[in-house]
Amino acid sequence: MHKFKLFQTVFFFVLALYVGGFAAEDKLFGMSPEMSKVIVPYIEKAKATFPEVKKKYIAGDYVRENRELNVQIDLASKDGTKEVAFVRVVQCQGNRFQGVLANKIEVVKEYKTGDTISFTQDRVMNWVVVDSLGNEEGNFVGKAIEAFDSGIVGVFFEVVFKKGKIEIKYQDAKSAKYQNSIDGIVSQNIIAELVKRLKTSFEKKRLEGQKFEEGKPFYTYGIFDFRTGEIKP
């Protein structure tokens, strides 16, 4: 598995997360109250979508696709110190999983990279399915942290002029700072509003005399400010 994208996300997640819980007053990992609020719905999204991911894992879909399932869980030391870590899943029986710690452990010294651990499904707070090239499915929490850190997200679309109509299809979203795909964290409402605005803009240009080649796709984008919710155009 290509580890760069996975461990880049681990880096941001470890910096952003906690010792002792999602506490606004926690300073060790630099988690601001604002970021704490931002990631909560993406943890919920990861938890809500994980049962379907689990079904695919049990069915052997990811093995056949040469992809690996990794999840993020919290580790705890005897003194109550907590740290979030990625675990590569190797076995699932009911709601109990077994996996291998996939990233460097910073503060919970009872664990180290490569340790085999068991955990229950309720501890899963994020998931990502990765192929050998580092292409990701899921990782909503990591992508939200990247978007928060970057601030600005480019939302990309394919545009085609067909039979007098302009068709606009969503393609992906990328962090302006890191150029990473953060597909899956931009809401359908924001995508729909950007499509509406872009279509209005292209229709205006067409009425003003701009020509569009029939059936030939081209690409454009809108801007989404992840922190403020502002979108452009």
Query: For residue 89, how many other CB atoms are within 10 A of its CB?
Result: 22
Q: Please compute the mean of the pLDDT values over residues 54-83 and round it to a whole number.
A: 94
pLDDT band at 31 (very low <50, low <70, confident <90, very high): low
In the chain, where the domains are located? 33-148, 151-232
87 neighbors 72 (Cβ within 8 angstroms): yes
- Paired strand residues for 165: 162
Percent of the chain with pLDDT over 90: 69
107 neighbors 83 (Cβ within 8 angstroms): yes
Termini Cα distance of the chain: 38
Percent of the chain with pLDDT over 70: 87
- Give CA–CA dist 214/228, Å, rounded: 37
One-letter amino acid at 141 equals: V
Tens digit of each residue's pLDDT (9 = 90 or more) over 168-220: 999 999 998 888 899 999 999 999 999 999 999 999 999 999 989 999 999 99
Query: For residue 38, how many other CB atoms are within 10 A of its CB?
Result: 19
- Give CA–CA dist 40/61, Å, rounded: 29
**Domain made up of 33-148: CATH architecture:** Roll (2.30)
pLDDT band at 155 (very low <50, low <70, confident <90, very high): very high
Tens digit of each residue's pLDDT (9 = 90 or more) over 37-53: 889 999 999 999 999 99
Q: What are residue 147's phi and psi, to 5 degrees?
A: -65, -40
- Is pTM, for the whole model, over 0.85? no
- Give CA–CA dist 230/184, Å, rounded: 18
1 neighbors 68 (Cβ within 8 angstroms): yes
Question: What 3-state class would DSSP assign to 96?
Answer: strand
